[in-house]
Structure 1
């Protein structure tokens, strides 16, 4: 699996991260009390804010307004305007360190979790606390809104994850109609005549054997993932009446600091005080990739709201990364660009700017089709799928149709033969090279029959075309002919 670091900073320990929804910006909350605002596209520190006294742990951009919220060990929640570069106001009420702060995606609310064992919901327009959620009996390490429903998930050192129903709070504090108006006259913890609380515990998830550091909702399905000091990641499902544990992921050998669902792929990403970041298959719950640092413990993860981009904070800074390449597999021949889109092989003619689908490709359930190699003499295409577990890598051999219906937007599935090993590349008119399962270079003919094996003392990781009959061979240390 590709693990692509796109941007990296060096600083004091990073305890909180937040992506801007539209601009290429990220906020980093540091243990030394500074908040940094970075433009990751041009690798520039735009601004810094340092009014907190002590570490800052909670940080969150507003999705529409030029605002962000922060929470620190000084028991203060601060709302900032990044355009005017100043703190607008401070919310007071927590009696201990503030661990996380998040804006609601729609309502003018802020959610905060604290070591005072409470979760508070604030109206940032009226600058008042509108609800206090009590029930945890140890530090509340994290609390987050559901992305679309009236739910909150929280995690605590009391070893539980709790799901809270805040629909009563919405009905009392948000008037019907577009935009919603707040009723700032309601006091915290207000109840109606029938005793219905603003926020009630819907589910208590028990299973972790040590304190739970993080919990978050899946963006689209009724799932929760949590990570704890018992070094275990637990996946939960829930409905209106109950919640239950589905599975666990075990590989970390120290406290799990943070864990999130990938918004674009069926992946779970976790990091830990064991100085590793790990990527898991969310369906099979198997470990796909591990990234390690020599000296830095990990503390936090953030997910970009719309892009395939994540960030991780550690003892000496933070970095942004992707879990997959987004550029499609392509190859050039003269004025023709062949590329893959939605499992169709397409051809763009640069002379006429006509872009047409040629054939439908066999889908891959294990990974993306990552490489094309075109043979113009035989009008044949090799399509490779490379994977970290090389025994699952494969290539398909297609012969392209001579007559292409340019008016057909959905051409038929092309006839192909699928074989283990990848990548596969043409090296002559009727010969191609491939890396087999044992990472031996093999030469085959047009019928996919073995012509010969190339023995090498090197541990080959990849091969590239270097002219007719020639290959570039990549090892862990060098590239050779």
Structure 2
């Protein structure tokens, strides 16, 4: 686990990522909702909404939804104002979720019902009844007209809401539908039970759809995670994942990998291989029980809420392993070693990379080195569940032939070393700093960044071009720096040639970015 951000607070019971901005909402057991910038590590806003423990961002980036005191409140977080309140539930509300396309909210409640609301007309348009205990969660399918719910009655239910979608959702029709609510409560056609999944021995706390496959995962107080499959006519249990030592609080499929992530009151987060249906990794806290999980809708980020705060984390590194030698780039992508020629931009597959153990998690190459004299590549991967890094607070340059230390420099923990083309200067990259030094490690300047430094390379004029999470920047030997352009997603610079920056994206794709190098050239002369 790579922890990107961590907070200390009261128990976190609800989490929701913003789809575009580096924000996450956390709702606390005390009734406070916090809005954090997890990239900067700062608290943007804090508001007290009495008993608002479940939260969700809307798609239009302006509103959020909360509820736990029998009411659903829709807020405009920019204006710090409650826009309206939805009334109808007769007991505490466990979860709320916005539909990805329609103006709907689905809510699950201790009154044993699931309700679907139209937030434009501000009315309840359907009540789903059938559970006979608290409904702990309910969520829309990402693509189909389905809802999945989990209840302490030990069942998971899948509901077909296709008829509801086909109806007109104008305010007038919603008001007319209110008069038919009693009919809908007892066998209405708006939403019907499609499957009832039985197999857990105790109350079910969470259930979630797979983003693309006809699969459902559930977690319960019987300490088990169950995997279910469904088709047009039936649904059935595929397997049971055992390992948690206490109630399973939350469980979900990873959006980009064939894994399941679950957390529990046993103070652990567990990662499971969907294909092999075995445990892959376990992360533990010493004192804190876990209560909730959330995944970023577009990025490879997860968040977990526990007794004393929350963590935002990744399960593995996304930086592709690569090595540059002259006009050549060697890099790893999709289990293959690939070769890229900068001058012709020709990209070829070289050989497959053999890796021990499972390939589902933490098995991508961590580092890659190339020896021109041997024409050989050395690839290092994390195996046996982890790796060791020897952290030093200084860098040493050593002459192998004379067996002499030519120079040393006190630095923060250095992650990457990048030599200039003429080998006269070197850039030492740590998490939040760049140190520029001479070839004998005489210090020239130090540049501090509040955002993580990701990569860098020297251009032909002795200017160091580097990237953070959201910018391409430059650094001159005298310490002057500036922004070249803003990035939507992180990239990893491999080479700078003229006004072209060659880089790798997180998925291993090569990319060339053309910049205006006039300003950099004139600045470097002074």
Q: Please tell me the TM-score bracket, short chain as reference.
A: 0.7 to 0.9
**Deviation string for 1:363-404 (max 9, x for gaps)?**
6562323331212111111334433358xxxxxxxxxxxxxx
**Among candidates 153, 157, 160, match of residue 158 of structure 1:** 153
Q: Alpha carbons of 1:388 and 1:308: their partners in 2 closer, same or farther (altered >3 Å)?
A: farther
Where structure 2 has 5 or more consecutive residues not aligned to the other structure, the ranges are 387-399, 401-526
CA–CA distance in structure 2, aligned partners of residues 182 and 311 of structure 1: 39
**What SS does the corresponding residue of 1:359 show, helix, strand or coil?**
strand
State the shift of 1:332 in Å: 3.7
Residue in 1 that maps onto 2:235: 243
State the shift of 1:21 in Å: 0.8
2:49 equivalent to 1:51: yes
State the shift of 1:67 in Å: 1.1
CA–CA distance in structure 2, aligned partners of residues 387 and 129 of structure 1: 52
Alignment of 1:419-458 (within 5 A): none
**What SS does the corresponding residue of 1:48 show, helix, strand or coil?**
strand
2:321 equivalent to 1:321: no
**Deviation string for 1:14-36 (max 9, x for gaps)?**
00101111111111111000111
CA–CA distance in structure 2, aligned partners of residues 288 and 182 of structure 1: 50
State the shift of 1:343 in Å: 4.4
**What SS does the corresponding residue of 2:24 show, helix, strand or coil?**
strand
**Deviation string for 1:389-438 (max 9, x for gaps)?**
58xxxxxxxxxxxxxxxxxxxxxxxxxxxxxxxxxxxxx9xxxxxxxxxx
Residue in 2 that maps onto 1:124: 119
**What SS does the corresponding residue of 2:266 show, helix, strand or coil?**
coil
Alignment of 1:292-441 (within 5 A): 292-333=284-325, 336-347=328-339, 354=345, 356-357=347-348, 359-362=350-353, 366=359, 367-388=363-384
**What SS does the corresponding residue of 2:16 show, helix, strand or coil?**
strand
State the shift of 1:12 in Å: 0.8
Higher relative contact order (CA 8 A, sep 6+): 1
Q: Alpha carbons of 1:342 and 1:4: their partners in 2 closer, same or farther (altered >3 Å)?
A: same
2:5 equivalent to 1:7: yes
Q: Alpha carbons of 1:346 and 1:269: their partners in 2 closer, same or farther (altered >3 Å)?
A: same
State the shift of 1:330 in Å: 1.5
CA–CA distance in structure 1, aligned partners of residues 192 and 384 of structure 2: 45
State the shift of 1:151 in Å: 0.4
**What SS does the corresponding residue of 1:12 show, helix, strand or coil?**
coil
Q: Is the 8 A contact 1:189 1:197 kept in 2?
A: no
Q: Is the 8 A contact 1:313 1:319 kept in 2?
A: yes
Q: Is the 8 A contact 1:329 1:370 kept in 2?
A: yes
Residue in 2 that maps onto 1:404: none
CA–CA distance in structure 1, aligned partners of residues 242 and 173 of structure 2: 44
State the shift of 1:182 in Å: 7.2
CA–CA distance in structure 1, aligned partners of residues 271 and 161 of structure 2: 32
Deviates more, 1:326-335 or 1:144-153: 326-335
Residue in 2 that maps onto 1:112: 107
Q: Is the 8 A contact 2:337 2:353 kept in 1?
A: no
Residue in 2 that maps onto 1:270: 262
Alignment of 1:250-289 (within 5 A): 250-289=242-281
State the shift of 1:174 in Å: 4.0
**What SS does the corresponding residue of 1:283 show, helix, strand or coil?**
coil
Q: CA RMSD in A?
A: 2.4
State the shift of 1:344 in Å: 4.8
2:166 equivalent to 1:171: yes
CA–CA distance in structure 2, aligned partners of residues 126 and 95 of structure 1: 21
CA–CA distance in structure 2, aligned partners of residues 202 and 380 of structure 1: 58
**What SS does the corresponding residue of 1:186 show, helix, strand or coil?**
helix
CA–CA distance in structure 1, aligned partners of residues 101 and 269 of structure 2: 32
State the shift of 1:336 in Å: 4.8
Q: Alpha carbons of 1:83 and 1:127: their partners in 2 closer, same or farther (altered >3 Å)?
A: same
State the shift of 1:153 in Å: 0.3
CA–CA distance in structure 2, aligned partners of residues 249 and 230 of structure 1: 11
Residue in 2 that maps onto 1:198: 190
**Deviation string for 1:138-172 (max 9, x for gaps)?**
00000010000000000000000000001111111
CA–CA distance in structure 1, aligned partners of residues 81 and 53 of structure 2: 19
**Among candidates 32, 39, 43, match of residue 34 of structure 1:** 32
Between the two proteins, the alignment pairs up a number of residues equal to 380
**Among candidates 162, 171, 177, match of residue 186 of structure 1:** 177
CA–CA distance in structure 1, aligned partners of residues 77 and 111 of structure 2: 29
**What SS does the corresponding residue of 2:269 show, helix, strand or coil?**
strand
CA–CA distance in structure 2, aligned partners of residues 223 and 15 of structure 1: 25
CA–CA distance in structure 2, aligned partners of residues 38 and 60 of structure 1: 14
**Deviation string for 1:291-337 (max 9, x for gaps)?**
11111110000011111100000000000111111110112445654
Where structure 1 has 5 or more consecutive residues not aligned to the other structure, the ranges are 391-427, 429-481
Q: Is the 8 A contact 2:125 2:174 kept in 1?
A: no
Q: Is the 8 A contact 2:126 2:181 kept in 1?
A: yes
**What SS does the corresponding residue of 2:163 show, helix, strand or coil?**
helix
Residue in 2 that maps onto 1:78: 73
